[in-house]
Chain A
């Protein structure tokens, strides 16, 4: 067995090898290709292998792209804040007020909607928020409003609501895991040392749950920036986001270099924001429990 142990590294690498190779071939190489494309010149229906920065120049100078990029980030930020803030109490409830043997049932209930057709769920929000939708029918039926509301569909608001709904479980699960890891005697110790429940929460529970919150923020923020379906179905023209523009460039206008430059730029901005966010909270992330 010592041969096993001394060659532990080799065995581990051999085992992870196929999966790693697959990820390299299907993810690293394609991402590299997108990066290369973003520096090439677009000829109509072909690509001219000439190095250029023109795509990036266009991405950064065209006000439409700038606006869409800003909107994507703004929507993602709003969705992230809304999702995480709304999800935290739910995670807290399941972690601290549900008997251990019932916890997985609650988590299961929370995750089920997430696994049902994304496309149809988004479309249903259109039904809920539409002119003759659930919200308007209810409000007019109750006599609260005379005319159906129109500011809740085909705009940024609708996108935020829909995305906050779609990513809810992604926010709840990591926070729940972080809360679950907190040693309960720490909380008792804080109260024993004279803190109120609220102060205990603020001084002990919240800081110790930061790793879960960070994971939740990243896991919600990054994919929402690049969401395509929601802005397309409920966003209307003024709700378009970066993924819609990228799709337009690739599949409609056949401008791969510009589409690639948009994708690379979006990824770069998101990466910078994510890394900055993590670094700003690294003090809390180093806590070992």
Chain B
């Protein structure tokens, strides 16, 4: 595989007495769509600005295309940024904004104009060049910011929560367009987001960050199916946790006694970290629990319980079910099908599950 385009080596960043980045290491590959995902305040923006050159690491190294970036100012880096506020120059029109970075380029005026037009066309704003900056809608501003960065053909495009200011419909549409654009231009995209769904939908790989550190770096599927810690599991999607006790452990498998589910044997690699001080627990995703309606035959192991809450979503129904012998409730999601009824509160039901869907947190 080619050398990574960006290498972060033990990057730390300290603001006065606050440590925003506590040793971040990562390799980001050429041409991939990479996301930095984490709750607000975890240091995503700081890391992105460190790559862009707006912050210098307190220690550690940032290499871009193999070159150490220490002391290289933002204007000399092969990266460009789409700012969270978009930072559209209000005194310039759309073409003036998109062509801003071409001022120093050796291209002729005609070539520059063509490059601007191409960039505008790429983001779906062909013909908008003479529009005043303040006459643009939120989505259009975002496209101008994209075109302005892409016209310079950077090696890496940095995007700081570019979609968070848009309403839901527009956001979903732009998610698709960004993904398409990234495939089309083949540039490495690094996206900062606090929205796990957005990260899962768009990325080739995701780094989940908590408190200035990367907790897990993986592709979306691995992240969802094999979270390395209970914290990551809770942050990505929904997961049920049931108290568990390890009764035997060998390289072949781990035997556990799970509240409400009984004994189970887990494969050696399906365990992850619990939070410090937490007792061991077993996690299972809502869609891995299946309600058996009426006399449906059992397909795996079965537990019984009572429906405590029903949340109807149209395509899906979410149930809160108190499993006999387990504390609290678990969430179960069921797709609504033609022949499937919706259970009512208070009904008793059977739930089927499979050992292979379990993850042990200890």
Contact = CB atoms under 8 A, between A and B. Distances in A.
User: A and B: direct contact (Cβ < 8 Å)?
Assistant: yes
A5 B14 CA distance: 12
Interface of B is mostly: loop
A1 interface: yes
Contact of A3 (B54, B56, B58): B56
Question: What class of interface size applies to chain A in its complex with B?
Answer: under 10
B234 interface: no
Contacts of B73: 1
Interface in A1-29: 1-3, 5
Contacts of B55: 1-2, 5
Contacts of A2: 55-56, 58
A3 B156 CA distance: 24
Contacts of B220: none
Contacts of A1: 53-56, 73-74
Nearest to B57: A2
Contacts of B58: 2
Interface string B71-99: 00110000000000000000000000000
Contacts of B53: 1
A30 to B, nearest CB: 39
A102 B56 CA distance: 46
A206 to B, nearest CB: 37
Most chain B CB within 10 A, of A1, A3, A5, is at A1
Interface string B41-74: 0000000000001111010000000000000011
Nearest to A3: B56
Interface in B242-271: none
11 contacts: A1-B53, A1-B54, A1-B55, A1-B56, A1-B73, A1-B74, A2-B55, A2-B56, A2-B58, A3-B56, A5-B55
Interface of A: 1-3, 5
Return the 10 tightest CB-CB contacts between A and B, nearest first.
A2-B56, A1-B54, A1-B55, A2-B55, A1-B56, A1-B53, A1-B74, A1-B73, A3-B56, A5-B55
Given A1-B53, A3-B56, 9 more contacts: A1-B54, A1-B55, A1-B56, A1-B73, A1-B74, A2-B55, A2-B56, A2-B58, A5-B55
